[in-house]
Structure 1
């Protein structure tokens, strides 16, 4: 239980850091914002099951996933 909480906190912290970098990328023309934004989404999806489920209901995310190569199990 404590390990799970630490993992969620670590993913949430990483997502927050990437969110700050995304905003910096919007303000500074030299810093790219898209990779940081995608990393933010990934980290927030790992930190919250509600956010993960919400993202899988979004039409643009479903289209994006359909273009990615499928992973083998």
Structure 2
């Protein structure tokens, strides 16, 4: 079993969890609560239409859906 210190708003933890889901090892990770500073929502999509279009498709990937942060 793996242990991962995590906070729901951490983009780094999300990258790890997406990778874990893709590799089929997500169920082997124990999530340990960690204090983290809240992340401000930044409207990066405005002014970046190509990146926004790519992300709109990418965020539908099963691993991205399985690791979507809960607000």
TM-score class, shorter-chain normalisation, is: under 0.3
- TM-score normalized by the length of structure 1: 0.27
If asked which structure has higher relative contact order (CA below 8 Å, sep 6+), I would say 2
More strand by share: 2
